[in-house]
Amino acid sequence: MTEHALLPPSSAELWANCAMALRMIKDFGVLRLSSGDEDSAPEGTAAHWYVSQCLTDCIPAVDDADSAGTPITQEMAYHGDKLVELVRHYLDDPSRYTVLVEQRAFSGMTINPDVWGTPDIVVVDRQENKVLLFDYKYGFRIVEEYLNEQCVIYLISVMVTLGFNMDVWSASVTIVQPRAFHPRGVARTWEVPAGYLKERAAILKTRAAEALARLQAEKPPHLAEAKAGPWCRDCANHACSVFRESAYGAVAVAGMLHAGAVESDVAHLVLKQWRDAAQTLKHAIAGLEGDLLARVTRGDRVPGVIRENRTTHAKWSVPDEMVIAIGLGAGKNLAKPGTVTPTQARQMGVDEAVISAISHRPPGEAVVKLVSESDARRAFD
């Protein structure tokens, strides 16, 4: 689906006022605004890059970096290898299967020319006339495979792009999510019923036309028709008055929390209300943090806010062979397989000056930090 950059407040307000568009985003995933999805963070992008490289026989090593400079971690490699193993056997039989890795697909007039997507992995089974979609979710937010509208749009777009007849070709959706616990496991598959994609394509086409018509209308629907909810987490919610009102309501709920006993017959309702309020605040904080990070990064002055990088683990700056040789010269065995980390070498008694000379600490993820009064005083001491 089309990915949009962070919208300016005026455009975001238009989305907030357009109830039909909001419902289409919520119910059908026709369009999606700026990404708050964990998979869009540098770590998630690098994890996807690792898998795509492995499937094209260019297997990156741990600490190799993607095009954005994000290093591959041991965890990324461990989880990514599980997905690679799921689809590896399809590559071994090219006479039957075609494997497409991150190939863009367009829905065209079947839905709307502006609706397209880049599925992680698509396997075309020419013997069974079936399209198998594998979607890799590296974040912690649980994603269900059943009736997943993003994947449905991917499949429709693939069928259209490849010229397949949706009355003849069947499909399946497999969500691979290694870091979020799900009772059905890491890899979960939904067999898409015959005829479902064609039916949904017709509905999505109508809904997309309605949503775009509302956006282009001179007088959007009244503000009261718009409603905030979980779909706001991937929107420019910091600039949306509807979402802000919802967030203020969540703050009010938080202010009413107390340690007293809750009656059993209403406990489930109270728990749901508190959980909903917590999620709203979580998304509100994430949206505002993203906006403030963009401001301070481009040099805007935001009182009380600075940009800093998260602390990362120290890494060797030289090849493993050199680290091992230096360790042996100091009477220490730094091999484990590979090598121990600089921190472990320090604990083993290797001289600090040696470690500092052949190691570094790469910059972590950029975040915003609130400056306290003590921070300000310390800066001038």
Same domain (yes/no): 342, 373:
yes
* Structure tokens that stand for 146 in this block: 């059943």
Same domain, 114 and 145: yes
Same domain, 179 and 244: no
Does residue 203 fall inside a structural domain? no
Regions of the chain with pLDDT less than 50? 1-39, 221-224
Q: Tell me if 99 sits within 8 A of 122, measured CB to CB.
A: yes
pLDDT for position 344: 86
Domain end position, chosen among 194, 227, 255: 194
Residue that is last in its domain, among 194, 226, 253: 194
Report the phi/psi class of residue 340: left, alpha or beta, with left for phi > 0 and alpha for psi in -120 to 50. Answer: beta
* pLDDT (tens digit per residue) in 131-188: 999 999 998 878 899 999 899 999 999 999 999 999 999 999 999 999 888 888 899 9
In DSSP notation, 214-261 reads HHH-SSPPPGGG----GGGGGS-GGG-HHHHHHHHHHHHHHHT--SS-
Residue 250 lies in a domain: yes
| Residue 202 counted as domain residue | no
pLDDT at 12: 36
- 161 with 297, same domain: the answer is no
Q: Please indicate, yes or no, whether residues 41 and 179 belong to a single structural domain of this protein.
A: yes
End-to-end CA distance of the chain: give it in Å, rounded: 52
What is the domain-level CATH number for residue 141? Answer: 3.40.1350
Same domain, 325 and 185: no
Q: Is residue 141 part of a domain?
A: yes
| Domain assignment of residue 89, yes or no | yes
**Which range marks the domain in which residue 168 is found?**
37-194
Contact 66, 72 (CB under 8 A): yes
Same domain, 179 and 314: no
In a domain, 332, yes or no: yes
Strand 305-309 vs strand 359-360: parallel, antiparallel, or unpaired?
unpaired
Q: What pLDDT does 28 receive? A: 35
Report residue 21 as tokens.
């568009």
Exposed, middle or buried by CB within 10 Å (0-12, 13-18, 19+), for 42? middle
Are 49 and 163 within one domain?
yes
Q: Answer yes or no: do 269 and 351 share one domain.
A: no
Residue 274 confidence (pLDDT): 75
Number of domains observed in the structure of the chain:
3
Shared-domain flag, residues 182 and 62: yes
CB 316 within 8 Å of CB 342:
yes
Q: What is the pLDDT of residue 91?
A: 93
Last residue of a domain, which of 246, 278, 302? 302
Tokens (6 digits) for 343: 């921190």
Token pair listed for 304: 């009380």
Answer yes or no: do 337 and 296 share one domain. no
The verdict on 262 and 169 lying in the same domain is no
Confidence (pTM) = 0.58
